[in-house]
Amino acid sequence: MTIALAERVIALKPSASIVARQKVLELQAAGKTIIDLTIGEPDLDTPAHIIEAATAAAKGGDTHYTVPMGTPALRKAIAAKLKRDNNLDYALNEVIVGVGAKQLIYEAFAATLDSGDEVIVPAPYWVSYPDITAIHGGRPVIVDCPEADGFKLTPQSLEKAITPRTKWLVLNSPNNPSGAVYSREELAALADVLRAAPHVLVLTDEIYEHLTYGDRVMSLGEVAPDLIGRLLIVNGVSKAYAMTGWRIGYAAGPAPLIAAINKLIGQSTSCASSVSQAAAAAALSGDQSCVRDVTEIFRKRRDRMFELLDGTPGLSLRKPEGAFYFYPSVAGLIGKTTPEGKVLASDLDVSLYLLEAAHVAVLDGGAYGMSPYIRMSFGGAMEGIEAGCRAIRKACEALV
């Protein structure tokens, strides 16, 4: 029997990071030693006090459905976190919990996009923004943010991209894949443009908020409180608390939008795991020294990766201000020839060459909307980072 799939699913591209991870696992299963620099998660274990909270919840019988919005305890912890870290006040009916931050982005677009509505997506971007837009009938409007601008959206580019059909602007700071972080002044300049376009909603993806290596990350709502009424903040516990597998994200925004997302969750996943919600509440309301410890670990890994790769022939890299990725230009490698005689014509060719010649997995910049770049993660252990960087340098030096 032939199953006729929906056109929206046929057109949907699989997540590049998930595909890359699967390829690495297949090669490793075949007996090959692959250094994986594609990972989008910390290699660290969830802190003990968070696991203890989850264990206590499970043993105490907290193993049932919750309301779709999430438990009151977790939503109170989220509201308190937003006040503590971002100077933002949200009522409990303006806060919602999802099965990861990705679900909340998905449901927000499902709740608001009609066919032909436009979503401004600055590039380089996290791979799922355009596809989540398209699956709901929207049109992703990709705005290039070149390295010369720090991989950040400028007010001029934003103003040019806005049309009467614009429904959303997506801002991701710290950014995946570039590590770029918007300053207070840069956010204020974007806010000036948004004030002249009151029909535009803003989704701020702040999942890497605490993984920064300079000044504290500012939230747009903190910089421009008058825009709160059309702002959706999306965050979660995955990165800063090493809780990717617990699948807890959260969002804060206007009550009518949160109510619509709540309705959709009620008809899809019903709710996030009750045990995971108890763990997330402990993470957000407990001792935050674990977050500072994680950030310091990543700072050391970042600095070591830069030290080992700086000066590599054909690579041009800058230290990221946040997240745990390098996004170096490989323009200097395009046109080079491998020892086997193949000419590298794109960043995808470069990534495949590094996989074959160096046994190092990286992601091509085309997956993130900007070429010729590659994304390399320092989310893994130092040993793998050092071995991977040395192998990459050797492979680049072998090109002619």
- Same-domain status, 247 and 302: no
- Same-domain status, 279 and 346: no
- Same-domain status, 296 and 337: yes
Q: Which of 297, 295, 289, 314 is nearest to 372 (CA)?
A: 314
- Same-domain status, 126 and 228: yes
- Same-domain status, 203 and 310: no
- Flag whether 258 is in a domain: yes
- Flag whether 57 is in a domain: no
Q: How many domains does the chain have?
A: 2
- Flag whether 51 is in a domain: no
- Same-domain status, 75 and 181: yes
- Flag whether 300 is in a domain: yes
- Same-domain status, 270 and 384: no
- Flag whether 55 is in a domain: no
- Same-domain status, 104 and 203: yes
- Same-domain status, 253 and 294: no
CATH number, position 186: 3.40.640.10
Last residue of a domain, one of 236, 263, 287: 287
> For the stretch 214-239, what's the b/e string if a residue is b when 16 or more beta carbons lie within 10 angstroms of its beta carbon?
eeebbbbbbbbeebbebbbbbbbbbb
- Same-domain status, 298 and 176: no
Residue 327 vs residues 161, 228, 372: alpha-carbon distances, Å: 25, 32, 10
- Same-domain status, 141 and 200: yes
Beta strand 231-236 with 249-252 is: antiparallel
pLDDT at 12: 79
Q: Which of 339, 389, 349 is nearest to 371 (CA)?
A: 349
pLDDT at 16: 67
- Flag whether 52 is in a domain: no
pLDDT at 7: 84
pLDDT at 322: 98
Last residue of a domain, one of 287, 321, 346: 287
- Flag whether 1 is in a domain: no
- Flag whether 254 is in a domain: yes
- Same-domain status, 204 and 265: yes
Residues 17 and 23: their CA atoms lie apart, in Å, by: 10
Last residue of a domain, one of 287, 318, 348: 287
CATH number, position 16: 3.90.1150.10
Q: Which of 244, 214, 126 is nearest to 178 (CA)?
A: 126
pLDDT at 30: 81
Range of the domain at 197: 62-287
pLDDT at 33: 87
| pLDDT < 70 regions, the chain | 15-17
Tokens representing 190? 């974007």
Q: What is the pLDDT of residues 134-191, one digit of tens each?
A: 999 999 999 999 999 999 999 999 999 999 999 999 999 999 999 999 999 999 999 9
